[in-house]
Chains A and B, each alone.
Chain A
Amino acid sequence: MKSKEEKVKIISEEFIDDGEDAEEERQKKPLKIPRQKRKKQLPTASREEMVLENSPVDDQQEPVQKGPDTRLLGMTSRRGPRSLPPIPSASRTGFAEFSMRERMREKLQAARSKAESALLQEIPTPRPRRLRSPTEKESETEFGTELDREVQRTQQDHDSQGHSRVKFHDSVRKIKSKPPVPPGFPSAEEAYNFFTFNFDPEPEESEEKPKAKNRHGANREEKEGEEEEPPVQEGDEEEWLDGKDVEDLLLGLDHTAEDFVAVRPADYQSVHVRLQKEKELLFVPSRRTVPTYKKLPENVQPRYLEDEGLYIGARPEVPRTNQNIMENRLLTQEPGRRWFGDDGRILALPNPIKPVPSRPPMLTQEQDIKAELETLYKKAVKYIHRSQHLIGSGDAPGNFQLDIDISGLIFTHHPCFSREHVLAAKLAQLYDQYLARRQRNKAKFLTDKLHALRSAVQMGLNPAKTPKTLETTPKTINEYKSEIRQTRKLRDAEQEKDRTLLKTIIKVWKEMKSLREFQRFTNTPLKLVLRKEKVDQKADEEAYEAEIQAEINELLEEHTEEYEQRMEVYRVTLQQWKAWKKAQRAKKKKKKQEAEEHPADEEREEPGPGEEPEKPAPPEPVDRAVIEQQVRERAAQSRRRPGEPTLVPELSLAGSVTPNDQCPRVEVMRREDIKRRSLFLKVTFNNKEVSRTESRPLGADFRVHFGQIFNLQIFNWPESLTLQVYETVGHSGTTLLAEVFLPIPETTVVSGRAPIEEVEFSSNQHVTLDHEGVGSGVPFSFEADGGNQLILMTSGKVSNSVAWAIGENGIPLIPPLSQQNIGFRSALKRADAISSIGTSGLTDMKKLAKWAAESKLDPNDPSNGPLMQLISVATSGESYIPDFFRLEQLQQEFNFVSDEELNRSKRFRLLLLRSQEVPEFRHYKQIPLYDREIMEKVFQDYEKRLRDRNVIETKDHIDTHRATVAKYLQQVRESVINRFLIAKHHFLLSDLVVEEEVPNISILGLSLFKLAEQKRPLRPRRKGRKKVTAQNLSDGDIKLLVNIIRAYDIPVRKPTASKFHQTSRSSRTFTEKHAASPTTHSPAHSADYPLGQVLVRPFVEVSFQRTICHTTTAEGPNPSWNEELELPFRAPNGDYSTGSLQSVKDDVFINIFDEVLYDVLEDDRERGSGIHTRIERHWLGCVKIPFSTIYFQARFDSQEDEKLLQATEKFRAECALKFPNRQCLTTVVDVSGKTVFVTRYLKPLNPPQELLDAYPNNPQATAELVARYVSLIPFLPDTVSFAGVCDLWSTSDQFLDLLAGDEEEHAVLLCNYFLSMGKKAWLVTGNAIPEGPTAYVLTREQSHYLIWNPCSGHFYGQFDTFCPLKSVSCLIGPDNIWFNIQQYDSPLRINFDVTKPKLWKSFFSRSLPYPGLSSVQPEELIYQRTDKVAAAELQDRIEKILKEKIMDWRPRHLTRWNRYCTSMLRHFLPLLERNQEDVEDDHRAELLKQLGDYRFSGFPLHMPYSEVKPLIEAVYSTGVHNIDAPNVEFALAVYVHPYPRNVLSVWIYVASLIRNR
């Protein structure tokens, strides 16, 4: 606070003396300003208060004090008024004051400069705001620029510093006399500045300050602080400062000003100096590696634990430099070296980072919030009492039912009982007891048991009979004997009881009789009859005697035994006694002697007389007579005497009750009282009343019949079931007589099986009645003197039955067992098996047996009989444990329906078949939900197929051999497909994941170049389109595009020299041959063509799936269409999966027609007015392209050597790398689905001898014939037969057996024939025009190579441009494979010399020699002649079928057959077969000659025979039937030429004829 005081001093310096002088003014003017200011904010502040404070100094000083604080922040806003020029103020203060002000200004300037220099020095020191009054602190941070706030603060200061004001005067004086500040210490002013000056480094301030100085004059400090003060105040202030005061002030300032003026340059320390200094202060650890010796104690070698074999975890990875820094630091800092381990490295824990990253469970924020805040809807649950057990919610609610049958109520005592009733009740009770006893007949049972035991003992005593029990006999016999004793006692007791009971009954009955006599009326119908049953006296006596004798014997034995025991004891005791006696005697003697010697001791020595043991009495010997007498007595007492008749009491209600009028009044009253009484029962369940019976009157016999059944639908386990007996007397309300607690039935007790039970009840009510009724709870007596009193309470029995109900389906409606409260049963456990182990325990035989053993059930007790038998069967017999293991022992339980029923379900069957991928159902969509929606015919095809599997049908196939083959093919197909289906479920990575292969360096380099490649090259190259897998295709989405570009060498019509110049027909024979033969035709224009037609007007018609598209008609034999035809594609069953698409058997037919226009005008006169032409089209030829383009390469087992396979893989990979477009064939799949090396198929095989004999001297012709033979074997593409599965190769014999195969089979067979004929032949794989990838045969003639098309039988020279084989990728010989590595693959441009390794890469080479693979082909082919008769028959049938078909195709026209022409054609066809060379000229001439009057248009079709269907298809595609001229006639002839092995060549000549008048 020193600084504060100083500050105060300085201020007071300025104003101290104006107190008196300016008193007046002070009161007027100076107060004005503060007042004005205050008015704004403190209107409440009274002037009086200020006067009281009475210090203008204060008023003035306050702003000063807060000045430095406020000025800082108020700077910007205050700058305005401060920078005002001094003129306005001058004008106001007047010129007279100017000189003084000038002086003041100088001083101020000096002071200011000093302050500034001080400022320069002190800049780094933070401004000590804290020195301000604490009350201001709160507002410190938000120094407003507003004036009013500062004023407020002023006020605060004022208040808070009031106490310091007192000091002002003193302190001011002190300052006046204050000596100059000693050097080295800051002056007061400096100090003040130091603490209060706002060292604002802003440059403007210094500029502004001089201006301010002018105005502020002497009190510059204050002014600096109160720059916000308007100039008005300045004037005032100046007024206060005058004369001497000012002088004093200036003086005080002067000497300080000198110190301030020094101006110094800013201190600068050179970098080196600073670094030097820093070096002293700072430590920079070195980054160099610390030598190990530094880190270890002296003379200690580093020790590496790891080398010693100890495990050290991986240290966390820290950069070496960081480690070094740390080590250096540690070494400098703490030389203790405790941070370093034995090996000289910093101690470190093993790396805590897990090597495997693990991701915490993903919990997005939203989910978190959701999960916590989500409200769940729960249905309201009914409140259920806690103590009750809620039945599991899984069960259907309210499904449990308890049936309570209350049949009636019987009172065993009732207040209204008369005395007779009491007796009657007693009698009835006794009688009941008697009946119960008789039923159990315990005495008899015990007697039997006794007999059994006795005989057992007899047996035991006779060892001869039971030798094996010899060892155990004594023990067993003893046990038996003790048991006999026990049983006998029991039996006796029972017999006695029986007897007593009988006696009691008789006694009660007698009492009753006497009572009836006494009271002269009868109240109860009870009547006891004693029936005597006579017995056979003699037998009875004997039995009785025998029994007694037996008993006597036993007792005797027993007693003897006992006697012996006693004798033993006696002997022992006697011995003891004797010994004692002796000792005693000796003692006595001794005593006597001693007594003589020491008489004093005598008394002491005398033992007490009581100690003397008595002499034991010998036990009495057993006296048989005594025993006999005892036995007889007892028998007489408890047993029926021999010969005495058995008494059987019979209680009946046969007696008559005395009617009312004969009774005394009291009795009548009693009876009337009874009539007034009625009873009902309430049924309470778990302490809640659930129902009550009807109120029924009490009968005279004190029975109430209800006969009501209550069905309690419950869903809680019953805890208590009570019947409350209520009695109503007259109209006086009901009283609760008693409560009857019914037992809750066991779960086995269900309605219908529950017996009626009687439950007793009793009441504690006290009733005294004024009539004959004995009352209840009150004593009464039967005797006249009132002795022998009885007190009877109301009691009775309710007969009822409680059982679980049975549901509709026969299931008991019982809550689950687990719900039961176990507690209440514990007491019963011992007695009752079921309550002990539960009903479920009954099925567990072991448990039951255990229980039986524990509770010591008497196995002979008849009431336990069935149980014991069950246990013995269950535990002894091992038959219950099956000696086999059942795999799915629960299967039976899960079969919810029987198998037959399951199979009967059509839907299930459909689902099953589909999931088994049975072809018919593989793509079945939307299996209907209900059986009824599934048509029976869905299965028909499938069932038919199953049925026909082994039946060869000949309907579709005209000859039987074909049918067999078709069947076989079908079977092969099925097996292959099944195999394929299995294989399809094997996945390779490449099937699932597309991954670029690892490129080698060259490719990598190329692709690196690619990166730099232009994105859009000028000459874009076509990139293969990615296959699009589409799921949602439907009909019409797929289109087949056929681009028809041009045709070469179309046959032209030949004008005939005859008069029928209009006749036009194709001049060539058919199929592709025209393309093969050299061009011989030149368009021969004829001027006399009608309508100016050219020689041929061809157009192309493409038909696919019976949809037809055609191009425009072009002209000339070498037309160019360049058209794209679009055909819609429909997949079978609307299924567009690849597998399905590949099984599309449809072919694309490309037919070429010649369009011919005919003038139909009959009359030349009309030519001027109209043109009538008819367009006819004539079939020229056809190309058939099967719609099987892509095929799978499936993986199959192999029988080849693994090495070979690897080699093939390698070979193929190498080939594919170089020429990816050339297919390299090394292994193929045989019919059984095994991979086979391809060369195994090539082997010389003999062609039919018949063919070889045909042209014995012409090898060329023979070769052609052989090729023709091969081509006549029908073509069947694998992709069709095996539905997109794979390409299968059959061996030649299989091929001939099947009589169907694709290019490979044909080529293999042909090649094998050529090989056997001694030719050099190879299989050529490559691409051909219609077939796509295919196989041809290459043969080497003397100087040139020939390429054979095995399917057509044609051959081409290597340089034939019309050769359909367009590229060659592989040559396959019997012992090697050569891959074409020449630049080109067109046969025209390649060299077929396989010996040149630069041109052909061979599979087997020096590095991998040919291992000598055995052929898969047979040794020899065996041919049998074809039956010519069968062929002729087939021929007729085909002709018939085709004729019918043509008629069918012309439904609206009449189809006439020209027989003559047909027969002529039929003759002509064999000719064609014989010489396929140019027979056309003869043929035409012949035709013309024969059919002079007709315009003839027809063509022979030639094809190998497989089935009728392709023939029909072929005839259809010619479109002959489309001719609709009115007078058209048709001719159709068929010729079947048989070759060996059922190879048939079929010729069909179909023609249309139009008569030319």
Chain B
Amino acid sequence: MAAAAPSVFLLMVNGQVESAQFPEYDDLYCKYCFVYGQDWAPTAGLEEGISQITSKSQDARRALVWNFPIDVTFKSTNPYGCEIPHGLTPALSFEGPQIVLSVYGPDVFGNDVVRGYGAVHVPLSPGRHKKTIPMFVPESTSKLQKFTSWFMGRRPEYTDPKVVAQGEGREVTRVRSQGFVTLLFNVVTKDMRKLGYDTGPPDTQGVSGPSPPQGLPR
């Protein structure tokens, strides 16, 4: 029965947090976590991770390479879900899981400060996906704040990195772009098509040949 009529579909995401471009910063590490709606549940793998600290490469690219693996499998009944991050108020709905990245690194005084937040939806279509996410940080509310936060090494941070996965309440914040993180996803899905969610590449079957003429009398 279960094989004939699945009641959930599975989404397996492999990949890695490949590299980042933060032109002004060095020695960064990143954290990732998945945010997903109520209809999604992880079945295997890690939902959260924290990477090593990486320094800029010496070549011209100045890339910060983590190559931090992601491997998680979700099951779901509904690509559309309502997300309520814990400790936060209910957010607007979104479909499918999102990966939330936050990058940290030392400032001039050696304090760990946040260097960027970013989020992207995990692609639902099977295949290899390379995503480059712009990263941003919340801005201080005033110049004085900016100075003191710089001086004290306590930059404004989101109460929860998962804020960046939701749309609600963002209007009260101001952010600044900091850099980019490149992610690689390899996505495998199971039973999605069976359950009526066609996320595959567009059907390339095209037009079939002409059917033989049916001129024969019936």
Contact pattern, A 911-950, Cβ under 8 Å of B = 1, otherwise 0: 1001101000011111111100100000000000000000
Name the B residues within 8 Å of A1137 (CB-CB): 84, 86-87
CB under 8 Å from chain A, chain B span 146-191: 148-149, 152, 154, 156-160, 162-163, 168-173, 177, 180, 182
> Is A710 located at the chain interface by the 8 A CB criterion?
yes
Whole-angstrom distance from the CB of A736 to the nearest CB of chain B? 18
Q: How far is the CA of A994 from the CA of B137 in the complex (A)?
A: 12
Inter-chain contact B132/A367, CB cutoff 8 Å: yes
> Is A1030 located at the chain interface by the 8 A CB criterion?
yes
Contact pattern, B 30-54, Cβ under 8 Å of A = 1, otherwise 0: 0001010011111000011000000
Inter-chain contact B168/A713, CB cutoff 8 Å: no
A1031-B85, A1138-B87 as given contacts; A397 in contact with B76, CB under 8 Å: no
A364-B132, A992-B170 as given contacts; A691 in contact with B213, CB under 8 Å: yes
Inter-chain contact B21/A362, CB cutoff 8 Å: yes
Q: How far is the CA of A710 from the CA of B7 in the complex (A)?
A: 46
Whole-angstrom distance from the CB of B45 to the nearest CB of chain A? 12
Name the B residues within 8 Å of A693 (CB-CB): 215
Inter-chain contact A362/B134, CB cutoff 8 Å: yes
Q: How far is the CA of A917 from the CA of B82 in the complex (A)?
A: 10
Inter-chain contact B61/A365, CB cutoff 8 Å: yes
Q: How far is the CA of A710 from the CA of B148 in the complex (A)?
A: 86
Name the B residues within 8 Å of A998 (CB-CB): 142, 144-145, 148
Inter-chain contact A992/B215, CB cutoff 8 Å: no
Contact pattern, A 973-992, Cβ under 8 Å of B = 1, otherwise 0: 00000000100110111011
Could you count the A-B residue pairs with CB atoms below 8 Å apart for me: how many are there?
175
> Is B140 located at the chain interface by the 8 A CB criterion?
yes
Whole-angstrom distance from the CB of A993 to the nearest CB of chain B? 5
Whole-angstrom distance from the CB of A696 to the nearest CB of chain B? 11
A984-B90, A992-B159, A994-B157 as given contacts; A393 in contact with B169, CB under 8 Å: no
Inter-chain contact B172/A989, CB cutoff 8 Å: yes
> Is A1079 located at the chain interface by the 8 A CB criterion?
no
Whole-angstrom distance from the CB of B81 to the nearest CB of chain A? 9
> Is A694 located at the chain interface by the 8 A CB criterion?
yes
Q: How far is the CA of A923 from the CA of B148 in the complex (A)?
A: 41
Inter-chain contact B141/A692, CB cutoff 8 Å: no
Inter-chain contact B158/A992, CB cutoff 8 Å: yes
> Is B108 located at the chain interface by the 8 A CB criterion?
no
Q: How far is the CA of A211 from the CA of B217 in the complex (A)?
A: 121
A929-B77, A930-B7, A1031-B33 as given contacts; A359 in contact with B148, CB under 8 Å: no
CB under 8 Å from chain A, chain B span 78-120: 78, 80, 82, 84-90, 93
Inter-chain contact A995/B140, CB cutoff 8 Å: yes
Closest Cβ neighbor of B163 among chain A residues: A992
Name the A residues within 8 Å of B35 (CB-CB): 1031
Most interface-central of A915, A992, A1137 (chain B CB within 10 A): A992
Inter-chain contact B207/A985, CB cutoff 8 Å: no
Closest Cβ neighbor of B75 among chain A residues: A926
Whole-angstrom distance from the CB of B163 to the nearest CB of chain A? 5
Q: How far is the CA of A381 from the CA of B47 in the complex (A)?
A: 43
> Is A715 located at the chain interface by the 8 A CB criterion?
yes
A382 touches which one: B132, B207, B217 (CB < 8 A)?
B207
Q: How far is the CA of A991 from the CA of B172 in the complex (A)?
A: 9
Classify chain B: how many residues form its interface, as a range: 35 or more
Name the B residues within 8 Å of A1516 (CB-CB): none
Whole-angstrom distance from the CB of A685 to the nearest CB of chain B? 9
Inter-chain contact A925/B145, CB cutoff 8 Å: no
> Is B138 located at the chain interface by the 8 A CB criterion?
yes
CB under 8 Å from chain A, chain B span 58-80: 61, 75-78, 80
Whole-angstrom distance from the CB of B39 to the nearest CB of chain A? 5
Name the A residues within 8 Å of B208 (CB-CB): 397-398
Q: How far is the CA of A714 from the CA of B93 in the complex (A)?
A: 45
Whole-angstrom distance from the CB of B179 to the nearest CB of chain A? 9
Inter-chain contact B215/A690, CB cutoff 8 Å: yes
Q: How far is the CA of A713 from the CA of B162 in the complex (A)?
A: 55
Inter-chain contact B149/A926, CB cutoff 8 Å: no
Name the B residues within 8 Å of A994 (CB-CB): 156-159
Inter-chain contact B168/A987, CB cutoff 8 Å: yes
Q: How far is the CA of A1504 from the CA of B101 in the complex (A)?
A: 53
Whole-angstrom distance from the CB of B25 to the nearest CB of chain A? 16
Inter-chain contact B82/A1029, CB cutoff 8 Å: no
Inter-chain contact B90/A1138, CB cutoff 8 Å: no
Inter-chain contact B78/A712, CB cutoff 8 Å: no
Q: How far is the CA of A993 from the CA of B213 in the complex (A)?
A: 70
Q: How far is the CA of A391 from the CA of B208 in the complex (A)?
A: 12
> Is A791 located at the chain interface by the 8 A CB criterion?
no
> Is A1062 located at the chain interface by the 8 A CB criterion?
no
Q: How far is the CA of A397 from the CA of B205 in the complex (A)?
A: 10
Q: How far is the CA of A656 from the CA of B93 in the complex (A)?
A: 87
Inter-chain contact B132/A926, CB cutoff 8 Å: no
Inter-chain contact B41/A1029, CB cutoff 8 Å: no
A993-B138, A994-B157, A995-B156 as given contacts; A928 in contact with B215, CB under 8 Å: no
Closest Cβ neighbor of A1028 among chain B residues: B87
Name the A residues within 8 Å of B7 (CB-CB): 928-930, 933
Name the A residues within 8 Å of B142 (CB-CB): 998
Name B residues whose Cβ lies closer than 8 Å to a Cβ of A.
5, 7-8, 21, 33, 35, 38-42, 47-48, 61, 75-78, 80, 82, 84-90, 93, 130, 132, 134, 138, 140-142, 144-145, 148-149, 152, 154, 156-160, 162-163, 168-173, 177, 180, 182, 195, 204-211, 213-215, 217
A-B residue pairs in contact (CB < 8 Å), sample of 15: A393-B206, A693-B215, A708-B215, A914-B82, A987-B171, A989-B141, A989-B172, A992-B169, A992-B170, A992-B173, A993-B138, A993-B158, A993-B159, A995-B145, A996-B149
Contacts A926-B77, A985-B169 aside, 9 further interface pairs with beta carbons under 8 A come to: A362-B21, A708-B215, A708-B217, A915-B93, A929-B77, A991-B89, A992-B169, A995-B141, A996-B145
Pick the 5 closest A-B CB pairs, nearest first. A691-B215, A987-B169, A397-B207, A995-B156, A691-B213
